[in-house]
Amino acid sequence: MTRNLETARIISLPPDAFYIADFISEDEEKWLLQKVNPYPSAPIPRWTQLSHRRLQTWPSALTKTNTLLDSPLPPWLISPIIEPRFAALGIFDNAPHGAPNHVLVNEYRPGQGIMPHEDGTAYYPLVATVSLGAPIVLDLYAKKHRDQAAMEGSDDSDQVPDSGAKPQFRILQERRSLLITRGLLYTEFLHGIAESRTDEDLGPYSICNWPLLRERDSFHDGWYRRETRTSLTYRDVAKVAKMGGTLKFMGGK
Ligand X SMILES: O=C(O)CCC(=O)C(=O)O
Q: What is d(CA 245, CA 253) in angstroms, rounded to the nearest whole number?
A: 10
Candidate segments 53-61, 114-122, 217-225, 234-242, binder of Fe ion by CB under 5 A: 114-122
CB 186 within 8 A of CB 179: no
In the complex, minimum distance from the CB of residue 132 to ligand X, in angstroms, rounded to a whole number? 10
- The closest of 104, 91, 102 to 50, measured between CA atoms, is 104
Please, what is the minimum distance in Å from the beta carbon of residue 154 to Fe ion? 22
| Separation of alpha carbons 249 and 216, rounded Å | 56
List the single partner that 212 binds among ligand X, Fe ion, none, CB under 5 to 8 Å by kind: none
Q: Using the rule CB under 6 A, which residue among 56, 101, 112, 129 binds ligand X?
A: 129
**114 interacts with ligand X by CB under 6 A:** yes
Q: Pick the stretch among 54-62, 117-125, 136-144, 154-162 that binds Fe ion (CB under 5 A).
A: 117-125
Site residues (CB under 6 A) for ligand X, limited to 214-233 = 231, 233
Q: Which is nearer to Fe ion, 186 or 219 (CB)?
A: 186
Smaller CB distance to Fe ion: residue 86 or 189?
Answer: 189
Q: Kindly state the number of chain residues that form the binding site for ligand X, as judged by CB under 6 A.
A: 9
Residue 104 interacting with Fe ion (CB under 5 A): no
Nearer to Fe ion, 96 or 192 (CB): 192
Tell me: does residue 119 bind Fe ion (CB under 5 A): yes
Give me the least distance between CB of 11 and ligand X, in Å please.
21
Shortest separation between residue 88's beta carbon and Fe ion, angstroms: 25
- With a CB cutoff of 8 Å and minimum separation 6, the contacts of 216 are 210
Residue 28 binding Fe ion, by CB under 5 A: no
Spell out a b/e string for 103-119, using b for 16 or more CB atoms within 10 Å of the CB, else e.
bbbbbbeeebbbebebb
Q: Whole-number minimum distance, CB 187 to Fe ion, in Å? A: 13
Are residues 229 and 111 in contact, defined by beta-carbon separation less than 8 angstroms?
Answer: no
Binding residues for ligand X, rule: CB under 6 A, are 104, 106, 114, 119, 129, 138, 191, 231, 233
Binding residues for Fe ion, rule: CB under 5 A, are 119
